[in-house]
Structure 1
Amino acid sequence: MQPRERKSAQSFRHPEILEIARRDGKVTVDGLAAHFGVAAQTIRRDLTDLAEAGRLERVYGGAVLPSGVSNIGYETRRALNPDAKQAIARACAADIPDGISLFLNLGTSTEAVARELLHHQALMVVTNNMNVANILAANPGCEVIVTGGTLRRSDGGLVGTLAAETIRKFKFDLAVIGCSALDHDGDLLDFDIQEVSVSQTILNRSNRTCLVADHTKFSRSAPARIASLADVDVFYTDLTLPHELATACENWGTDVRHCP
């Protein structure tokens, strides 16, 4: 293949590689080689090019979406790993009884949980997520309370002091939260320090807490710490945790439930 032809083939593959990375959270050399029907070395060159352009980060055996100090766009997050999010949300919602007070925070995973609650009855749901409020408005058996706060236009989130002050007026039976990233030591991470403050208030005002997060969060990083998995009662996810983290959860008493 001539250099110009090789460059053209690379350009053809790159958008699809990025789309697969957004969907699955990561790509592997072997998986892409099989998908495109090319040699592994060809894929390695593609991933190197994308990493040099700042579009991906190389990891052993493949690449992941780049980490940074700002989150990826809302529409991209919503399209990322939707089947796993739905399975996680379905399992979480199945464990939520009728007739309780519940908090749902920001994130596409908590929005998936809201969609699975449309047939629950006698719920009081407090949220700082305008998308969750709009979803649950379709359930007449659900009382919806919106916290107020500073509107984050990018994703419909309400953050800041007013949101936290509203949350302090309640004591919830259960909180269902998400996070932007999950560190190898079990720390829950996020990008927006105002959102972190609100999430910490939620944890302090809830009798029980559930985390909903798919495996793409394992390969991401964010600068602000919310809490630890040690502070979570139940963690719903789609893949088996790394051995050390799974052992830590056992020691902390955190119930990890896999939702394939």
Structure 2
Amino acid sequence: MSQSFRHPEILEIARRDGLVTVEGLAAHFGVTLQTIRRDLSDLADAGRLERVHGGAVLPSGTTNIGYEERRALNTDAKSAIARACAKRIPGDMSIFLNIGTSTEAVARELLHHEHLMVVTNNMNVANILVANPSCEVVVTGGHLRRADGGLIGNLATETIRKFKFDLAVIGCSAMDDDGDILDFDIQEVSVSQSILAQSRRTFLVADHSKFKRSAPARIASLSDVDAFFTDRPLSADLTASCEAWGTEVVIA
């Protein structure tokens, strides 16, 4: 079966099952694993699927993909982005790290930074940074979202408003062509907006997969952040907009 015939059926299976696996599709079509990986990469490049560890899922519109799948998505890119971001973070400062696998990657890169105060609504970030004896960790409290260890709701927002951070490092679930930063959970969006309001500077960390996704809730615009750390160049129009806004774009 040619590639042009496999692609529609792969998409149909993804719509039916929510997730397709490389091994399952190879067995279904009677082709090699390498052939299916190429098919999934082509569909991901076209924005029809999102690659996850061992397979792919449909791009999300109103609900996010699972936390473990997100954690396995674009791990090398997230690590490179996190390293580039952490290099811009000196010691002796207060930082907020929000919910997300990209901010967790940043936390891992901060394990050897000295004299940091890190406030977070991400239990995973707190568990990572507890290994740095020179880092004071403050957890906001709030309603625990068991799916990803995020803390959201009024208590989280009230805690954030008690601080003025030197820097916030935030992630997002999606980004529009006009530079709007998007997420799925309106409660998380409210927390993220409070973080922006209480921070002197803001860094956004997001890999290229976020350029191809959509989500219903708006956090802010790229014009509201000081630097955007990512792994691939933006479109010409969005690059020009960032230059006009004074938003630095760092390609890791």
Aligned residue for 2:9?
A: 46
Query: TM (normalized to structure 1)?
Result: 0.81
Q: Residue 47 of structure 2 contacts residue 212 of structure 2 at CA under 8 Å; is this kept in 1?
A: no
CA deviation string 1:168-227 (max 9, x = no partner)? 000000000000101111011011111000000000000000000000001111110000
**TM-aligned CA deviation for residue 49 of structure 1:** 2.6
State how far apart, in whole Å, the 2-side matches of 1:63 and 1:55 are.
Answer: 13
Q: Residue 111 of structure 1 contacts residue 131 of structure 1 at CA under 8 Å; is this kept in 2?
A: yes
**Which residue type is aligned with residue 69 of structure 1?**
T
**TM-aligned CA deviation for residue 41 of structure 1:** 1.6
1:249 paired with 2:212, answer no
Kindly report which structure 2 residues correspond to 1:97-246, keeping only aligned pairs within 5 A, or say none: 97-246=90-239
State how far apart, in whole Å, the 1-side matches of 2:106 and 2:44 are.
Answer: 31
CA deviation string 1:93-150 (max 9, x = no partner)? 0110000000000000000000000000000000000000000000000000000001
Q: Which is further off, 45-54 or 214-223?
A: 45-54
**TM-aligned CA deviation for residue 67 of structure 1:** 1.9
**Which residue type is aligned with residue 189 of structure 1?**
L
Aligned residue for 2:35?
A: none
Question: Using a 3 Å threshold, how does the CA distance of structure 1 residues 195 and 83 change in structure 2: closer, same or farther?
Answer: same
Question: Using a 3 Å threshold, how does the CA distance of structure 1 residues 43 and 116 change in structure 2: closer, same or farther?
Answer: same
Aligned residue for 2:48?
A: 63
Q: Residue 122 of structure 2 contacts residue 150 of structure 2 at CA under 8 Å; is this kept in 1?
A: yes
Structure 1: runs of 5 or more not aligned: 1-37
State how far apart, in whole Å, the 1-side matches of 2:72 and 2:85 are.
Answer: 20
**Which residue type is aligned with residue 193 of structure 1?**
I
**Which residue type is aligned with residue 103 of structure 2?**
T
Question: Using a 3 Å threshold, how does the CA distance of structure 1 residues 108 and 60 change in structure 2: closer, same or farther?
Answer: closer
Structure 2: runs of 5 or more not aligned: 20-42, 50-57
Q: Which runs of 4+ in 1 moved over 6 A?
A: none
State how far apart, in whole Å, the 2-side matches of 1:191 and 1:158 are.
Answer: 15
**TM-aligned CA deviation for residue 48 of structure 1:** 4.1
Q: Residue 179 of structure 2 contacts residue 238 of structure 2 at CA under 8 Å; is this kept in 1?
A: yes
- What SS does the aligned partner of 1:189 have? strand
**TM-aligned CA deviation for residue 52 of structure 1:** 4.8
**TM-aligned CA deviation for residue 59 of structure 1:** 8.1
Q: Residue 47 of structure 2 contacts residue 59 of structure 2 at CA under 8 Å; is this kept in 1?
A: no
How many corresponding residue pairs?
222
**TM-aligned CA deviation for residue 243 of structure 1:** 1.2
- What SS does the aligned partner of 2:220 have? strand
Q: 2:66 aligns with which of 73, 78, 82?
A: 73
**TM-aligned CA deviation for residue 66 of structure 1:** 2.4
- What SS does the aligned partner of 1:155 have? coil
- What SS does the aligned partner of 1:53 have? helix
Structure number with larger C-alpha Rg = 1
Tell me the percent identity.
68
**TM-aligned CA deviation for residue 46 of structure 1:** 3.2
**Which residue type is aligned with residue 41 of structure 1?**
S
**Which residue type is aligned with residue 121 of structure 2?**
N
State how far apart, in whole Å, the 2-side matches of 1:145 and 1:48 are.
Answer: 44
Q: Residue 181 of structure 2 contacts residue 220 of structure 2 at CA under 8 Å; is this kept in 1?
A: yes
